[in-house]
Amino acid sequence: MILCVTLNPCLDRTLEVPPWNPGDQVRGIRTHEVVGGKGNNLARALRRLGRRCRPVTFLGGPVGSRCARLLKERDGLEGLIVQTASETREILTVRVAPEWVATRHKTPLPPPTAFFDPDPVITSEEAAELTRQVETEMARGGVEALTLSGSSPGPTTHGLYAELIALAKSRRVPVFLDTYGPPLREIWGFWPTVIQLNRDEAADHLELPRDQLDDQRVWELLARWARHGVVLGLVTDGPRPVLARVGRHQVAIDPLAVEVINPIGSGDCLLAGIVDAWLAGAEPLDALKRGVACSLVNVSVWDAGAIDPAAVASFQERLRIRHLQRTEDS
């Protein structure tokens, strides 16, 4: 069993419309719902890869109840849920329906636009309950890995990932971390097995403007993580090379060119692929290749995490790792 923690979930609603301009009154063609939040996307991808996993998250109000039903009935995932007084947020994405895109209008079509509700307020008691439930689940045995994904909604949850890393380490459970901002800054003492950031998140972590984050600073960040015991650290950059460090080895993977349908969730699928390969006994660099393959498959579908394992295997065979250098630091 893999526990997939999301501190800031959402109901991700998509409204498909005909071509429109700001100020228009637009009648929708169809709607679609999926439970969002990085750990939920990751759990969806892991299940597609044949792994048993359980989303761990906060849900509240009617929207939270809807999310719990969708996870169970549509995704086949039994959530470990902490009920909150604050209602779960919604994200509404408005996009031009694919049949209109196919007609190739002469005027530019509006790109997809997402509207986010404010983050919920999580109480200290609710935050403590999530830690307690994860600890109880681990005490039962059978937890193979812990994933910690996404943002923290507020001060009461900023330190939860650090607590859960310490808890997992005490039970020798590997931890896979994909977060940024305050939760990442709270990490100390115990460090995860794998850390993943994108380039913008890395720049924010280093308190640098995005255009000042050169590769050398990325390598320095990855080396710092390695000194803390992180086995695999990586920084993604959309369609540009993934930079990673395993032990003293600096490597890069050039993603393959694919048609981009929806990039949302690609980082979550990358981490899902790493977890899947890791638990299968793969070496870290092979796990990285599988992760990148999963992310490439994800961008070619609309629903985050709805990946096809056969397509993943095909991409994985075509990916190549570039070994850049072996450093002398430790």
pLDDT digits (tens, 9 = 90+) for 56-67: 999 999 999 999
Model confidence at 129, in pLDDT bands (50, 70, 90)? Answer: very high
Assigned domain for 98 exists: no
Please check whether residue 103 lies inside any domain of the structure. Answer: no
Provide the number of structural domains found in the chain. Answer: 1
- Residue pLDDT, tens place only, 266-301: 889 999 999 999 999 999 999 999 999 998 888 876
Question: What is the structure's pLDDT at 104?
Answer: 56
Any idea what the CATH number is for the domain that residue 210 is in?
3.40.1190.20
pLDDT 10s digits, 92-127: 999 888 777 666 555 677 788 899 999 999 999 999
And the tokens for 120? 């919920």
Structure tokens at 129: 């309950």
- Whether residue 138 is contained in a domain is answered as yes
Residue 305, pLDDT above cutoff 90 = no
Cβ atoms within 10 A of the Cβ of 78, count?
A: 12
Look at residue 260 in the predicted model and tell me its pLDDT. 72
Residue 223: phi and psi, rounded to 5, are -65, -35
Cα gap 90→274, rounded to integer Å:
29
Domain annotation covers residue 35: no
User: Which residues on adjacent β-strands are paired with residue 13?
Assistant: 33, 92
- Where is average pLDDT lowest: 92-96, 170-174, 220-224? 92-96
- Give 329's pLDDT tier (boundaries 50, 70, 90): low
Do residues 148 and 166 lie in contact, with contact meaning Cβ atoms separated by under 8 Å? Answer: no
Intra-chain end-to-end CA distance of the chain, in Å = 33
Q: Is the pLDDT of residue 330 over 60?
A: no
Q: Does residue 32 lie in a domain region? A: no
Residue 108: inside a domain, yes or no? no
Residue 243: band (very low, low, confident or very high) from pLDDT cuts 50, 70, 90: very high
| Residue for token pair 């109480």 | 123
Tokens read off for 102: 């196919």
In a domain, 88, yes or no: no
Tokens of 248: 């003293």
Quick one: CA dihedral 133, 54, 120, 151, positive or negative? positive
Instruction: Determine contact, residues 216/202, Cβ cutoff 8 Å.
Output: no
Whole domain around residue 269: which residue ranges?
A: 2-6+40-83+120-326
pLDDT at 304: 67
Q: Dump pLDDT digits (tens) for 188-201.
A: 989 999 999 999 99
- Residue-level pLDDT at 310: 86
- Whether residue 232 is contained in a domain is answered as yes
